[in-house]
Structure 1
Amino acid sequence: MHWIDRVARALLKRGKKHVIASGISISGHIHVGHSNDVFIADGIRRAVEESGGKATALWYADDYDPMRRIPWPLNQGEHAERYRKYLGMPYIDIPSPDPEYENFVEYFSKSFVDSLRDFGVKVKVYSGAKIYRSGKMSRLVKTALENAGEIRKILNRYRSTPLPDDWLPYDAICEKCGKIATTKAFAWDGSVVKYRCEGCDYAPGCGHEGESDYTNGEGKLTWRVEWPARWKLLGVTCEPFGKDHAVAGGSYDTGRSIAKRIFNYDAPYPVPYEWVSFRGDRMSSSRGVVFTLPQWLEIAEPELLRYFIFRSKSMKAKDFDPGLPLLDLYDEFDMIEQVYFDRRDVAEPKRKKQYKRIYELSLVGPPPIRPVQRLPFRFAAVLCQVTQDEQHAIEIMTSKGILAKPSGRDIRLALIRLRRARNWVSKYAPERLRFRVLKEVPVEAVRRLTEKQKEGLARLADDLSSRDYTPVELHNRIYEIGKSIELKPSELFKAVYLALLGRESGPRVGNFVSVLDREFVIGRFRDAVNL
């Protein structure tokens, strides 16, 4: 059973109706590493509904949080000095660097939210700022203030330095400087909280002493109290969250105690997950180590990101690299799709069942009724460099057996993948996979060919003139020719590249030669042999 289904089963034992929460602080560009919780929430929603329950997934924008660091790219050049004054202010109150967007929050979150539908993610979106300013949190803020002493005891169990006796679980927005991170609440009466703007380790205070009306959203609960209050407000029954919150004494532990003892609410079923790294480096909005959903859609299908998340357990480390490893991701997805339609055998029935479930969770919609013919991405990455004409590309795909009697859907999906391959080649492909076939024989390069290499090219030219090969068949045939003349296959590959590209390396030979005009290739090989 897939781990998503185990979570759904556990939830349904608790009841038939569920709210699965996710969310993120809008601290900069929202990247694929942030996608973990919202994609997992959506996957759980699906599984609950498939098992007969009712479920809603939500995504909560923590846009009332303070800006602790200036995010990339605003920490560069003239922007850096301009945005320094906004440190400590709520994200929602910070202006956008682009007048096309209403504010800082919309600038950094809109493309993410707008892209969720493309990935088949069905969630209800909430804004923390709107919830506070609407007064919906007022009753819970009051409850927290009334029980500040009890909350302090809960938190102090996990602190090396106890909170002071006058501590209150409330962060006021300074009415003078607009900062929320710099204030300290010290007293309250009715709906008013008194505070001093004292400063914090990353933003100076202005020294103002004032009052904040929490019923008007002039402040917010501190994080460790706000989280359980939010569970109560929205009726959350399950929530995926980063592993840092799951450590002993972390936000979830304290939140569970506060939810039960202060808000009389059972904590949601926890689903902790591991971080997603980018080429071995932790993704970071502030440092600009990001890869966004729109960037993903430029080079890969939305199903691949879902597959990337659901192919392994939530706590397994995941690393994304848009370079060569993306090709493996494409291959894996195409493989499990073939398994789903019983077009590829898997020895272990249990593994086969697992693959089929991963495939279902990876899809943006219901599974297709008929098997899908896919254009292999490795082949697409070569084909897109040979022709810009899509009709010509279709002719190559069909003539080489890549697509057999394709349906309109097969062709549409193939062309979409071809366009993404073109983007991938231009932005992320290593140099050795980028090429330009030379119009004339590269004389200097060809003169480096050995007699054995020339013999191999001559045999290959004869074979190509006698029959058609699929890319895989051609790749294997080159191996066979090399062995038959006691030449290492790698040396024959080099000969092919030297004759066509004037260099010793290039894309996978079978794909590369297959996309070229056969008569051109035969002529080039023979010219190289006879030079």
Structure 2
Amino acid sequence: MSRGGARGGRSGEPIDWVTRAADDAVRHAGEGNLVTVASGASPSGPIHLGNLREFLTPHFVAEELRRRGVAVRHLHSWDDYDRFRKVPAGVPAEWADHIGRPLSAVPDPWECHPSWAEHFKEPLRASLAEMGVQMDEVSQTVMYQAGTYREQVLHAIRHRDRIEEVLGRYRTKAAPETLAESEEEAESLADSVANEEEPAGSGDLARFPYRPWCGECGRDTTDVTSYDDETTVLTYTCRVDGHQGSTTVSEEDGGKLVWKVDWPMRWAWEKVDFEPAGLDHMTPGSSYTVGQELVASIFDWQAPARVTYAFVGIAGVQKMSSSSGGVPTPADALAILEAPMVRWLYTRRAPKQAFTIDFGPEVVRLYDEWDALRRKAADPAKRDVAVLAFERASATADGPLPVPDVAVPFRTLSSVADVTAGSADLISRVIEHLGFPHDTVEQLEPRLARAMAWTASLPAGERTTVRSDPDTDRLASLSEDEELWLRIFLDRLPDELELDEVTSVVYGVPKVARGLGFEDAPTDQVKADQKAFFTLLYNLLVDADRGPRLPTLVVALGAETVRRLLGAPTTA
């Protein structure tokens, strides 16, 4: 769908952060030119939900440009030529021997991928595909080892004095972790590769912009000891094994530019027009600040348009470093949330807004909010920024993302899954009785599987435990009112349970006990009786004072189980 040319917001359409970012990207590229939006990530560990902003932010911008008919590519750089920095929990201690080697050269301790880097790339690729994200992937290992950047490396070395002048001016700026708004955000920033700046040499060659890998051990723990500008022969000493080696930079490709020089070099090489970055890259003295000056003065390119994205928190998780395990990943989110909903979390807020994803009870409310927005989006007269976010989340230029044919409220699906602990077929049959007709289980997907997964993930204390046997002690101590309520309930409960009829019975029993009809308005006394009756049913059915909505619970359990647990005589 065209949005009326290279600029957005025409014809009174709502404008959001994506619209403005796309305008900035077009302005940088120039009208009529190919727009390159870029992302980059180091596969040092699981790509978590905080990292996902790096991928989705340029994706949404690229999608907006495609809708306008603008030629665009989303270029993603895998920084797999970065050094292996530390051994995370759960990995054998001997992997410390690989610290300082490229991520692409570190073996996979789980022995299922060719390297450490590939082990963490693959699951992220699968998650992005499920969310409809397409991008052109570039391995920095391949680019450097193929000699692609050889001339750029030599150019940077020739201008090393100017580079050092720029780096030196920013070296005393505030560390980004001092600017964080929370303790967990500060920890994430402190753990960022963006602020690494280890010397690459000593003496006059300190802060050399190019760091060779040791020819003996393969680590980047090298100090440059000499460099000949005419022959480009570089000598070095390894601080780990003492190896003294040399490389001819104009002919060999055994190293890489230091990060704060590497990033602006690639902006120019790739002709990047837009690239987001986290707070760790955007603070005074950090990567972007330095890079925007180096890219202009050294590499003859203008720093790309940008947005800064803020921290994404996960309820109950204190640390979001991709070098450590135990943090939720996009795959974890997609097991519980439909793919458009995951996209929606990242497009409905401007990147600079921090937010927290809660995988607890908030999931139910999140689905309710999403379903309400879907209904709103069906009315063209109500199209606003919120609906625009829904549209961006729901489809790409290739078409809509999968949603269930029959959209059963998540709270209903999860309640049934919780109570029955049954198969998808069993849940499907109960859902039919709850008033959601469908022909096949597949019509409830992908939401049904997510409801089952979310319910299974809940702590035992938050699950609904159906009694296996009647509570004979409680049944023997019923008050007169309670005996009357149960007698009326069992008498009026149909054998074939349908939600509307069961709802009428559940709410109507206390009315009948007070001489009213099912359709009569409840008195204050009846309202108090209803509360007590509901508690009684919960006590007898699930050994709790509350639980899933009672009519749903009764339908999910079935008439036979309900009658047995409420002490009704069994029939032969």
One-letter code aligned to 2:82: D
One-letter code aligned to 1:193: L
**2:493 touches 2:505 (CA, 8 Å); kept in 1?**
no
The size of the alignment, in residue pairs, is 506
Over 3 Å counting, the alpha-carbon distance change for 1:493 and 1:138 in structure 2 is farther
**1:41 touches 1:57 (CA, 8 Å); kept in 2?**
yes
1:126 aligns with 2:138: yes
Instruction: Give the structure 2 partner of residue 173 of structure 1.
Output: 213
- Give the whole-Å Cα distance in 2 for the aligned partners of 1:474 and 1:373: 25
Match among 556, 567, 570 for residue 515 of structure 1:
556
Deviation (angstroms), 1:430 = 3.6
1:59 aligns with 2:73: no
**1:66 touches 1:181 (CA, 8 Å); kept in 2?**
no
Over 3 Å counting, the alpha-carbon distance change for 1:170 and 1:127 in structure 2 is same
Instruction: Give the structure 2 partner of residue 206 of structure 1.
Output: 241
Instruction: Give the structure 1 partner of residue 322 of structure 2.
Output: 285
Instruction: Give the structure 2 partner of residue 201 of structure 1.
Output: none
Deviation (angstroms), 1:249 = 2.5
Instruction: Give the structure 1 partner of residue 541 of structure 2.
Output: 500
Alignment of 1:194-233 (within 5 A): 194-198=235-239, 205-214=240-249, 215-233=251-269
Deviation (angstroms), 1:484 = 4.1
**2:273 touches 2:305 (CA, 8 Å); kept in 1?**
yes
**2:103 touches 2:116 (CA, 8 Å); kept in 1?**
yes
Deviation (angstroms), 1:381 = 1.6
1:83-136 CA-to-partner distances (Å, cap 9, x unmatched) read: 011111111111111333111111222111233211110111111111100111
1:398 aligns with 2:432: yes
Match among 436, 448, 454 for residue 424 of structure 1:
454
- Give the whole-Å Cα distance in 2 for the aligned partners of 1:144 and 1:368: 45
SS where residue 327 of structure 1 aligns? helix
TM-score normalised to structure 2 length: 0.80
One-letter code aligned to 2:278: G
- Give the whole-Å Cα distance in 2 for the aligned partners of 1:171 and 1:472: 73
Over 3 Å counting, the alpha-carbon distance change for 1:416 and 1:119 in structure 2 is same
Instruction: Give the structure 2 partner of residue 36 of structure 1.
Output: 53
**2:394 touches 2:401 (CA, 8 Å); kept in 1?**
no
One-letter code aligned to 1:469: L
Instruction: Give the structure 2 partner of residue 374 of structure 1.
Output: 407
SS where residue 294 of structure 2 aligns? helix
**Any gaps of 5 or more consecutive residues in structure 2?**
1-14, 174-196, 512-521
Instruction: Give the structure 1 partner of residue 103 of structure 2.
Output: 91
Q: Which 10-residue stretch deviates more, 454-463 or 312-321?
A: 454-463
Between the aligned residues of both structures, percent identity stands at 27
SS where residue 528 of structure 2 aligns? coil
- Give the whole-Å Cα distance in 1 for the aligned partners of 2:529 and 2:235: 81
Match among 30, 50, 53 for residue 67 of structure 2:
50
One-letter code aligned to 1:354: V
Instruction: Give the structure 1 partner of residue 444 of structure 2.
Output: 414
1:327-373 CA-to-partner distances (Å, cap 9, x unmatched) read: 22222222221221239x9xxx5xx5122211122125434899953
1:7 aligns with 2:38: no
One-letter code aligned to 1:105: A
**2:485 touches 2:509 (CA, 8 Å); kept in 1?**
no
Over 3 Å counting, the alpha-carbon distance change for 1:4 and 1:451 in structure 2 is farther
Q: Which 10-residue stretch deviates more, 39-48 or 240-249?
A: 240-249
Over 3 Å counting, the alpha-carbon distance change for 1:431 and 1:224 in structure 2 is same
**1:116 touches 1:122 (CA, 8 Å); kept in 2?**
yes
- Give the whole-Å Cα distance in 1 for the aligned partners of 2:350 and 2:503: 37
Deviation (angstroms), 1:35 = 0.9
Aligned-residue CA RMSD (Å) = 3.2
**2:265 touches 2:295 (CA, 8 Å); kept in 1?**
yes
TM-score normalised to structure 1 length: 0.86
Deviation (angstroms), 1:58 = 2.0
**1:185 touches 1:194 (CA, 8 Å); kept in 2?**
yes
Deviation (angstroms), 1:142 = 0.9
1:260 aligns with 2:301: no
1:392-413 CA-to-partner distances (Å, cap 9, x unmatched) read: 4333323322x25x476xx524
